[in-house]
Amino acid sequence: MSFVESEISLLVSSDEKQGALNKSADGSQFSLQLDGDGISLPRDAHNISVQVNKATVWWTVPNILTDVNDRMYIFGDNDQGGTQLFTVQIPQGLYDVNGLNDAIHSQLEILGAKTITATGSTLPLIDLRGDSSTQKIVIRFNYANVTVDFTQADTFREILGFDSQVLGPYVGAPIDILAENVAYFNQVNYFLIHSDLVNEGIRFNNKYNQTIAQVLIDVSPGSQIVHQPFNPSKSSATHLRNARRSNLKFWITDDQQRPINTAGENWTAEIIIKYQRPIIFEHKK
């Protein structure tokens, strides 16, 4: 028996202006209501598969979240000659070591922390830097009476790799303190696109969770990922045979199956449903 291959193409977007419905607050999930007859596959369809030929995702998933892990509690000198506790609050965003260090300095200056030494040079209360040999973060305490309180639950201590503790004061300042753990700035290793177009999808270790594509992060923070695999993964979708679908659901997660915060950006996917139909030849007498 011979077969002819057919396919149905879908370009889906989380943009509500383009028809996305029921979009989640974090932008990771949405649904579509298809016009007309929707998607309909014949009863004699064979070898039905779903694949993602292209996807776009913005690499803006924040590692600092408002009211979750956006604070640092630093005690030290202010610019009036006294001492006080500075509650540093970092705007939500995707930070690397240098970006976070700059944000801390900016907030300390706004809060009135000491920035000028007795000799007139500029020196903030603390500095952050990465140690490439250990993949850990170093906090430099620039003044003897400075402390950092990591016991509060809303600090970004896990990103920096520090345990729950109070650091300082250090009589021997300036002094460098190395974190106990490896830094955790890159909290997302890759993205997974899911859809109810499939019942199982791509197997993730020993489980199925309706995954239809893995999107690798190959751009710098703040840039758009354009995923165009040379050989897209195919997921079986035999349940679509002789079925009609007009409502579809899509969602995107990180590598730990957690819905991602898209930071207000939209994501898209070009999806192809492929199937084969038998060719019936009439025999002439």
Give the per-residue pLDDT at 122: 80
pLDDT, average across residues 215-223: 92
| 281 has a pLDDT exceeding 90 | no
Which among 40, 2, 9 has a CA at the least distance from the CA of 276?
A: 2
State percent of the chain over pLDDT 70. Answer: 96
Tell me the one-letter amino acid at 3.
Answer: F
Give first-to-last CA distance, the chain, whole Å. 20
Band of the pLDDT at 2, cuts 50, 70, 90? Answer: confident
Q: Would you state the torsion angle of the CA atoms of residues 275, 278, 279, 281, taken in this order, to the nearest 10 degrees?
A: 180
Look at residue 186 in the predicted model and tell me its pLDDT.
Answer: 85
From CA 49, how far away is CA 66, in angstroms rounded? 41
What is the amino acid identity at position 217? I
Beta strands in 199-239 (DSSP E): 203-204, 207-208, 211-216, 224-227, 234-236
The CATH number of the domain covering residues in 2-61+188-279: 2.60.120.1100
User: What average pLDDT does range 191-210 have in this prediction?
Assistant: 95
- Round to whole Å and give the CA distance between 3 and 12: 29
- Closest Cα partner for 169 from 113, 208, 125, 204? 125
Produce one character per residue of 87-110: b if its CB has 16 or more CB atoms within 10 Å, e if not.
Answer: ebebebbbbebeebbebbbebbee
pLDDT of amino acid 1: 61
Q: Has residue 283 got a pLDDT over 70?
A: no
Domain locations in the chain as residue ranges: 2-61+188-279, 71-178
User: What pLDDT, on a 0 to 100 scale, did the predictor assign at position 110?
Assistant: 95
Nearest to 22 by CA among 199, 209, 247, 260: 247
Q: Are 275 and 7 in contact (CB under 8 A)?
A: yes
For position 279, what pLDDT does the model report?
Answer: 80
Q: What is the pLDDT of residue 278?
A: 85
- Evaluate whether 114 touches 76 at the Cβ level (below 8 Å): yes
Q: What local confidence, expressed as pLDDT, does residue 192 receive?
A: 97
On the question of pLDDT at 54 being above 70, the answer is: yes
Polymer length in residues for the chain:
285
Half-sphere exposure of 176 (CA within 13 A, CB side): 8
The pLDDT assigned to 197 comes to 96
Residue 135 has pLDDT above 90, yes or no: yes
Q: Is the pLDDT of residue 92 over 80?
A: yes
What value does the mean pLDDT take over residues 67-88? 96
What is the reported pTM?
0.84
> What percentage of the chain carries pLDDT values higher than 90?
85
Q: What is the pLDDT of residues 162-197, one digit of tens each?
A: 999 999 999 988 999 999 999 999 889 999 999 999
Q: Is 80 exceeded by the pLDDT of residue 50?
A: yes
Question: 98 or 36: which carries more pLDDT confidence?
Answer: 98
Q: What is the pLDDT of residue 214?
A: 97
Instruction: Supply the mean pLDDT for the chain.
Output: 93
Residues 22-41 pLDDT 10s: 999 999 999 999 998 889 99
Here the tokens at position 72 are 């640092």
